Chains A and B, each alone.
Chain A
C-alpha cells in the first residue's frame, strides 16, 4: 500500500493551460515537500509546507497543505514547456523518521 498517492500519474497539456497535481494520504504528516526532477538528474526541492492550510507560491506554482495535514496539491498556472518534468511529493510523519515519497506525476507541456 502506497502511503502517499499522487494523481494523475501522467499529464500531457498544451502551453498556457492550468493544471493541478494531488498528493493524498490517510496519514498525518508533520511536513510535506514537493520536488521536481528532470531526466538524468536528482530531484530538486521546490517547497516545504508545515502548517495545516498553508499556501505557498513560487512564481506560477501554488502549493497547498491540507487543513488536516494529510494531503497537498500543486497548481500550475499557464504552464510552459519548461515546466515539463517529474513532480514528486514527499512527507515526514514524525521527527527522526525518513522521508516517504509518492510515485510522482510526469508532466509534459507542449508548445
Chain B
C-alpha cells in the first residue's frame, strides 16, 4: 500500500493564482481531512470528509474548496492564492471502528505564495 500520497511536494504561486493540491489514499478509509501547519499554530483543520459526496468545514476553511467524488481522492483547491496561505498542507485519511480512531498522514505539500 502506498498509504496517503500528496502532489506536488513543493509549489510556489503568485497572489491571485489558483491551484489544486492532490491527495489520494489506497486504504479504503472513509474519512479524509486537510490540515495546514504553521509555526506556533499546530495543525489546523481546513476541510474534512466522512465519505464520498460528503464534506464539511473545519477550523480555517476560507479560501479553500474541496470535493470528494471517490473514496480514494480528496483534492484541495485554492481559489485565489494569498500570502496568508503560505504553509505546509497535510492530507490525512482515517477510520473509526468501535470507538477506535486512527489517522494517517501524507508527506505534505509546501506552498509559498508571493
Question: Using a CB–CB distance below 8 Å, which chain A residues touch chain B?
Answer: 30-31, 33, 35, 40-45, 48, 50, 88, 90, 92, 95-96, 98-104
Contacts and interface: CB of A to CB of B under 8 A. Distances in A.
Contacts of A35: 105
B40 A103 contact: yes
Contacts of A44: 105
Interface size class of B (residues with CB under 8 A): 20 to 34
Contact of A41 (B4, B100, B107): B107
B33 interface: yes
B10 to A, nearest CB: 11
Given A41-B107, A42-B106, A95-B96, A101 B43 contact: yes
**SS of A interface (majority):** loop
Nearest to B31: A98
B53 interface: no
A33 B40 CA distance: 20
B45 A100 contact: yes
Contact of A92 (B35, B101, B106): B101
A99 B4 CA distance: 17
Given A45-B103, A90-B103, A98 B58 contact: yes
A101 B42 CA distance: 7
Contacts of B33: 98-99
Interface in B32-64: 33, 35, 40-45, 48, 50, 56, 58
